[in-house]
Each structure stands twice: as C-alpha cells, then as structure tokens.
Structure 1
Amino acid sequence: MPDFPVRKMLTILEEIRHENGPAPAAPRLRGAIVAIVRNPYAGGYVADLQPGMDDLKPLGLEMTDRLIAALGGIEGIDGYGKAAIAGEAGEAEHAALWHVPGGYAMRERLGEARAIVPSAMKVGGMGARIDVPLGHINAAYVRSHFDAMEVGVPDGPRADELLLALAMARGPRIHNRMGGLAAHEVTGLDGLR
C-alpha cells in the first residue's frame, strides 16, 4: 500500500480588488492549497499506479475542507481546478495520481459540481511553479471563469516528492467581457453548458 506522508501544507488567498477599470461591486476571491508529500514511486518504474489514487483520497478531502474554510465557506464558490508536480526522480504519471483524489474531493464537497475539474501536471525541480487552471464548477463553457492561479513552494518538490494543489474561486474574472455562456445561463445538465 503506497504511503504519501505530508511534509508541509500551505494555503494562499488572493482578494482581487482592481483590474485597471472601475472597482467591482465585490472583490474576487481565489484560493489555493498546496501539499508537499513523499512520492513512494520515485526512482523507478511501477506498472500499476492506480492504487495510489485511493490512498490519496483522504488527503484530497482534507485539503478541500481546509480550502473551503479558508475561503469562508462553500457559498459563492463557483470555480475550481487542480495541479501536481512530480519531483525530478518521479514522472508525469506520478503527478497524474492527483486526478481522482483532487478532483472528486472538490466535486463531493461542493455539491452539484458537474463540470470536469481543469488540471495541469508536470515534472519539475525544487522551486518549480505551476499554473492551476480554473473553470466554472458546473459548465466548462463559461468563459468568464477561465483563469489560472500560480502556485509553488521554494523548497519543494524535492526529487522524491510530489506537489499537490487545489484551487477554488468565488466569482468571475474582474471586468470579464469575452462573451459566451454567462454563469447565470448555466443549466448544469452535462457539465458543459
């Protein structure tokens, strides 16, 4: 059974109050939580990685709960995304372990979140950063919620570690004006529109 002990966690909150135009009625809030964990697969090839996804599910739920609390509760959270970096002794598939535990934890806790959770994965050295893509929780075609939040940890991931990240947002980009499906028009039946 794979083990992913957590070395450290950090939470980042952004309150966006201005984007060169008039001040919005309410600031946009974005948040991310990052965990640095040991990568039990680092340093060699393992054919069956999928059991590791089950072992990461409790961490996904813990990180989701912490991020929701940091954002002040579930109400108004309408954007999400996930990302992972495998350290140098790992591989991209090790970062992909985060697909199920990260995505499904947020969908479970946020209720009727129907849209696919946008994601990014890569291999990187210590101090590597990654853009966590964000999208609307119920409809992938809501352009006002296409966004990204950059995260990283100065002393991670080490060669035998993984950086695991979740991000959520409350509200669209400030002054979004690219048209398309508006959030209030979402039917949320198929995760697309």
Structure 2
Amino acid sequence: MPQFIVRKSITLVEDIFHDGGPVATVPRRRAAAVAIVSNPFAGRYVEDLQPAMEDLKPLGLRMTDNLVGALGGDTSLIDGYGKGVIVGSAGELEHGALWHVPGGYAMRERLGEALAIVPSAKKVGGFGARIDIPIGHKNAAYVRSHFDAMEIGVPDGPRPDELLLCLVMTCGPRIHARMGGLAASDIKAFDGLR
C-alpha cells in the first residue's frame, strides 16, 4: 500500500470585495486547501497506478472538510470548485492524475448534489512552482459567472519526490460578473455539462 505522507498542509481564504467596480456588500470568497505529500512513485516507472487513488481518498475528504470549515461551514453557499496537482521533478505527470478521483469525488460527496465535472489542472514543477487551479460552477459547467482560477504555490515545495495536491472552493460568482451565458439561477436538473 503506497504511503502519501503529509509534510505540510495550508488553507488559504480570500474575500474579494471589488475588482475596480462597486464594492460588494457580500464579498466573493475563494478558499484553497493544499497538502504537500510524499510521492511513493517518484524516480521509477510503475505500470499500475490506479489502486493508489484509494489511498488518497481519506486525504481528499479531510482537505474538503477543511475547505468547508474555512468557508463558514454552510455547504449551501459553496457553488464553485476546482482541483490541481504539481508533481515534483522526480515524478511524472501521470502521478498527478492520481488526484482525479480522491479530490473530485471528496468535494462532490461533501457538497451533496454537485453535478458538473470538477475542473482540473496538473503539471510537473520544482520548488516554488505555481499552478492556476481552474474553477467552475458545481452544477453546470457553462455558468460563465463562475469561470475563474486561483493561483497556488508553496515556496518550499514540491520537493522532487513530492506532490502538491490542491482543492479550491468558492462562494458566489466573480465579483463583477456580467458576461452573460447560463445563469446559476437558471440551472435545471442535470444541466451538468450544458
């Protein structure tokens, strides 16, 4: 059984009051949960990686619980999400794909009826590498008001034999969203990818 030992975890919360326009009464909140973990596959090729996704599921749930708490605990207010990975330089891009199920399904489980695919990004990088985590509405991928990204990075990671795992959640649309498209209030059941 692979070991994904956590070296460091970080939770970051942003309250966005304006972006050059009128100041919002209720700010838009973005939060990220980051874990720097050992990569048990670093430095070698392993054919069958899929079983290791199960080993990351408890971490995905803990990170999701941290995010929900950081955003105030009311899951009904959380309407956007995304996930991403930076693989340390001794790993391969496919090691980042280990996060697809544990990260995405943890957020879906805790948020209840989250119907849309969880936007995702991954890359290989060294110390201080940064990644833009894409964000979309949790119930319909074409809700333009929720298209966003949150830049994530940690100065001392990932080390060559580590993974930087990240989950992001948001409350509300971009602070001055006005580009049309499917409105969150108009989502119908199973619009998911519409």
Q: TM-score, normalised by structure 1?
A: 0.98
Question: How far has the Cα of 1:151 moved from its partner?
Answer: 0.7
8 Å contact 1:142–1:180 — kept in the other structure?
Answer: yes
8 Å contact 1:9–1:36 — kept in the other structure?
Answer: yes
**Cα distance in 1 for residues equivalent to 2:40 and 2:180:** 45
Report runs of 4+ in structure 1 exceeding 2 Å deviation. Answer: none
Question: How far has the Cα of 1:190 moved from its partner?
Answer: 4.1
Q: After superposing the two structures, state which structure 1 stretch, 69-78 or 30-39, moved more.
A: 69-78
Q: TM-score, normalised by structure 2?
A: 0.98
8 Å contact 1:139–1:186 — kept in the other structure?
Answer: yes
Q: Which residue of 2 aligns with 1:172?
A: 173
Q: Which residue of 2 aligns with 1:62?
A: 62
Q: Which residue of 2 aligns with 1:72?
A: 72
List runs of 5+ in structure 1 lacking aligned partners. none
**Cα distance in 1 for residues equivalent to 2:101 and 2:110:** 14
Q: Which residue of 1 aligns with 2:90?
A: 89
**Cα distance in 2 for residues equivalent to 1:174 and 1:162:** 32
Q: Which residue of 1 aligns with 2:117?
A: 116
**Cα distance in 2 for residues equivalent to 1:140 and 1:179:** 14
Amino acid at match of 1:172: P
**Cα distance in 2 for residues equivalent to 1:49 and 1:192:** 28
Amino acid at match of 1:27: P
Q: Which residue of 1 aligns with 2:47?
A: 47
Q: After superposing the two structures, state which structure 1 stretch, 181-190 or 101-110, moved more.
A: 181-190
What does residue range 125-136 of structure 1 map to in structure 2 within 5 Å?
Answer: 125-136=126-137
Amino acid at match of 2:118: V
Amino acid at match of 1:52: A
Amino acid at match of 1:7: R
List runs of 5+ in structure 2 lacking aligned partners. none
**Cα distance in 1 for residues equivalent to 2:143 and 2:20:** 22
Amino acid at match of 1:34: V
8 Å contact 1:143–1:180 — kept in the other structure?
Answer: yes
**Cα distance in 2 for residues equivalent to 1:5 and 1:188:** 39
Which SS does the other structure have where 2:79 is aligned? strand
8 Å contact 2:18–2:176 — kept in the other structure?
Answer: no
Amino acid at match of 2:47: A
**Cα distance in 1 for residues equivalent to 2:128 and 2:22:** 36
Q: Which residue of 2 aligns with 1:37?
A: 37
**Cα distance in 2 for residues equivalent to 1:36 and 1:136:** 26
For residues 143 and 99 of structure 1, do their structure 2 counterparts lie closer, same or farther at Cα, with a shift above 3 Å needed?
A: same
